[in-house]
Amino acid sequence: MRTIKQFLFALGILCHSLPSINAQNPLVTHMFTADPTARVFDGKLYVFPSSDTYPPAGREKEFPRFCMPGYHAFSLENGSTWKDHGWILKENDVPWGEKDTYAMWAPDCIEKDGKYYYYYPAKPKNDNAFRRIGVGVSKNPTGPFKWEKSFIEGVSGIDPGLLLDDDNKAYLFFGGGHELYVAPLADNMKEITQKPILIEGLPAGYKEGSFPIKKDSTYYLTFAHVFPDEGYTIGYATSENPMGPYTYRGKIMNNIHNGTNHHSIVEYQGQWILFYHSWDISGYNKLRSMRADYMTFKKDGTIKRVTPTLRGIGTPQLGDTIQVDRYNEISKASTAFVGGENEPNGWMVCNTQMMGFVRFNRVKFDGAIKIQARVASGQRTGSFEVRLNNPKGKLVAEFPIEYTGGWSSWKTIEADVKEPITGTHNLVVVFKSDWGSTKAVNLNWLLLQ
């Protein structure tokens, strides 16, 4: 549990935040996002997460549980910038929902015949069910959606997961606790056509969530499970039939101390990506932040276990900020959170020792003639260099270290790219100052121009 001080600190971060967005982890830092469902519509990558927030004033004691007010939607622009499309649905706008319950748990959105259907759980009014599942329809993935007046009859539970099969038949998976159900949907996508059936073949530790996909005629069902002494992990099962029975195949991700483990999987531009959440910003398991990492299927159809990274997905290019603190490798340096009135919220590289470095993989250098760097320094000795691929790799640019007014007085400086570089490379920043010194410069981000 976090201390009040930690809570206020995180609140301060959010209040002062500018919407700084990127494809490094966590994916967005201007609000808390959880349970990310990713979808590709018309070649564009969208994410439909739930959102976590602080309990309303005076109701803190009621909310040791999640406090979830509704949904935003995001799309990936230019390969590395997440656009926030704002509110898709707020809890008090659910036609059949009980007001002020902050119970908007994991959603899903799917396209069928040119229309987008958004499924969400909420606490129903005048009904004993823990959650019911509602649906809305729109011509656009990000709405506005026309919400059905009532929840889907015959469905009671959380975590809607949708599958549209090759024959254009849709299935609604839902569940939570220890049981997962599935029911076929009618053509209108708003009703089920038969009583839901319990999915057979899941491991005893099945907990919640399900994300169904079909690949090479195999149905994959991925879900959060909890085995004794392990906490939440992500597992999967396969079947030849969407409604099962399924055969358990193992884990996709180990426990990463992220509380729950709701996730989704999508193929985007030829690469599979696992979306999940962690509590990177808050340090608190009820204030989560969505993440993404690449995932691979082996030749035999099994899924290789995903190692969570800070680096995440995407390839920054000209004009994108490169958050080097979301590194692939760091040596003789560390990272810390940067907040502040006029600063983007996020992290910085700090405690940069002589010959310390940070490596950030996959940067598209084409067209870059200058590099900007956001820095703060309380001293004026040394330099830092941008190099290709390793700390002794080709020198791309060199920045002398200036006194900026102190270790939290930020300034944007720039340096010329020494000669044109084409293609995508790993970027390495190397810090140089006096031997024995422990702080050359604080570095917030780089930007290719």
* Alpha-carbon dihedral angle through residues 291, 292, 298, 304, given to the nearest 10 degrees: -20
**CA 373 to each of CA 74, 344, 441: distance values in angstroms, whole numbers, following the listed order:** 27, 13, 11
Among 136, 184, 196, 209, binds ligand FUB (CB under 6 A): 209
- With respect to ligand FUB, which residue has the nearer C-beta, 34 or 109? 34
- Cβ closer to ligand FUB: 131 or 432? 131
35 is catalytic: yes
Is the bond into 144 cis (omega within 30 degrees of 0)? yes
Q: Is there a contact between 33 and 324 (Cβ–Cβ < 8 Å)?
A: no
Q: What share of the chain is helix, strand, coil (3-state, %, to 5)?
A: 5, 50, 45
Total residues at the site for ligand FUB (CB under 6 A)? 12
Print the binding letters for residues 389-428 with ligand FUB: x by CB under 6 A, - otherwise.
Answer: ----------------------------------------
Annotated catalytic residue, options 159, 208, 320, 385: 208
Least CB distance to ligand FUB at residue 251 (A):
17
Active site annotation includes 208: yes
Site string for ligand FUB, 69-108 (x = CB under 6 A): ------------------------------------xx--
Other CB atoms within 10 Å distance of the CB of residue 423: 9
- Shortest gap between Cβ of 131 and ligand FUB (angstroms)? 8
Q: Please enumerate in sequence order all residues whose Cβ is within 8 A of that of 256, keeping only pairs 6 or more positions apart, or say none.
A: 278, 308
Give the residue, chosen from 159, 280, 293, 320, that forms a contact with ligand FUB under the rule CB under 6 A.
159
Does 208 participate in binding ligand FUB (rule CB under 6 A)? yes
**Ramachandran category for residue 100: left, alpha or beta (phi over 0 → left; psi -120 to 50 → alpha):** left
Cβ proximity of 26 and 313 under 8 Å: no
- Which of 39, 72, 262, 425: binder of ligand FUB (CB under 6 A)? 262
User: Is residue 285 near ligand FUB by the rule CB under 6 A?
Assistant: no
Burial (CB count within 10 angstroms: exposed 0-12, middle 13-18, buried 19+), residue 205: middle
Site string for ligand FUB, 32-71 (x = CB under 6 A): --xx--------------x---------------x-----
**Nearest CA among 22, 24, 43, 20 for reference residue 293:** 24
User: What is d(CA 301, CA 429) in angstroms, rounded to the nearest whole number?
Assistant: 38
- What residues are annotated to the active site? 35, 208
For ligand FUB, the binding residues (CB under 6 A) are 34-35, 50, 66, 105-106, 158-159, 208-209, 260, 262
